[in-house]
Each structure stands twice: as structure tokens, then as C-alpha cells.
């Protein structure tokens, strides 16, 4: 299992070569504050890397959720839809947003590992 990060503050966890789980980072949820609503993508819809796939709204702001890798949405987190605060209380586990079938695994090479993401957020 490998986790990579985007400069737009999404994380993607590769569970196997065909599936990836996507969510927002701890840094993102800290910046947003209390999450009150999520607009999750439609299952079966395909997105290119970097395309807007959803929206997260908090008491402070709204932010787009970008697709970290090209792929098709195969599942959304209904628990998050029903309880958006999971994005705050457990952003790296139960607060995941959606799962995708990865179309091009080579795109992982352009994403940040944990050390690079930490350095990026320190300089942001």
C-alpha cells in the first residue's frame, strides 16, 4: 500500500494495481475548518488527472476536489456524504471521498511522497 499526495492537497492510496482511494489531506482539512458538506462524483464517471471531481464545503470556505489520477469512479463514501465531519475527524481513513479504477499508473510518478508533501506544505 502506497500513499501519494497532490499539490492541491488530495491524497491517493493505492490498494492494488487496479484500485485507488482518494481523500483530502490533514493539511487541507485543517485549512478548511469544520467540513459541513461534500459533493461527491458520480459512480461510473471518468475524469482526467487534475479535473474537478467534487467539492468540499466548510464553515470557512468551499474547495474543489481534483482527480489525482486519470480514472473511473467506482465507489463513493456514502458515510462521508451522511457525516461530512469524517473529513475532519479521520481524513486519512474513514473520511475518504471516493475510489477510482486507475487508467494510467505511470501518473503516480508525478505525485509527491510524504516527505515531499510535508516540505511543500511547510513552504506554502
User: What pLDDT score does 10 carry?
Assistant: 97
Mean pLDDT over all residues of the chain?
94
Report the first-to-last Cα separation within the chain, whole angstroms: 27
pLDDT at 17: 65
**Domains of the chain with CATH codes:** 2-123 (2.40.50.100)
Could you give the C-alpha distances from 18 to 21, 50, 98, 107, 117, in angstroms and in order? 11, 19, 14, 13, 24
φ, ψ dihedrals at 110, nearest 5°: -85, -10
pLDDT 10s digits, 49-106: 999 999 999 999 999 999 999 999 999 999 999 999 999 999 999 999 999 999 998 9
Query: Mean pLDDT across the stretch 10-22?
Result: 86
Give the Cα separation of 31 and 80 in Å (integer): 18
78 in helix, strand or coil? helix
**pTM (2 d.p.):** 0.94
DSSP conformation class of 71: E
Instruction: Tell me how far CA of residue 38 lies from CA of 75, 105, 116, in angstroms.
Output: 15, 27, 27
Question: Phi and psi of 108, rounded to 5°?
Answer: -60, -30
Amino acid at each position: 500500500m502506497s500513499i501519494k499526495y497532490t499539490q492541491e492537497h488530495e491524497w491517493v492510496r493505492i490498494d492494488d494495481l487496479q484500485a485507488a482511494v482518494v481523500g483530502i489531506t490533514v493539511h487541507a482539512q485543517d485549512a478548511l475548518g469544520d467540513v459541513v458538506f461534500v459533493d461527491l462524483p458520480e459512480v461510473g464517471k471518468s475524469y482526467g488527472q487534475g479535473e474537478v471531481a467534487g467539492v468540499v464545503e466548510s464553515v470557512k470556505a468551499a474547495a474543489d476536489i481534483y482527480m489525482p489520477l486519470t480514472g473511473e469512479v467506482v465507489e463513493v463514501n456514502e458515510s462521508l456524504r451522511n457525516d461530512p465531519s469524517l473529513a475532519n475527524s479521520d481524513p486519512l481513513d474513514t473520511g475518504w471521498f471516493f475510489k477510482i479504477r486507475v487508467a494510467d499508473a505511470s501518473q503516480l510518478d508525478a505525485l509527491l511522497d510524504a516527505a515531499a508533501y510535508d516540505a511543500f506544505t511547510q513552504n506554502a
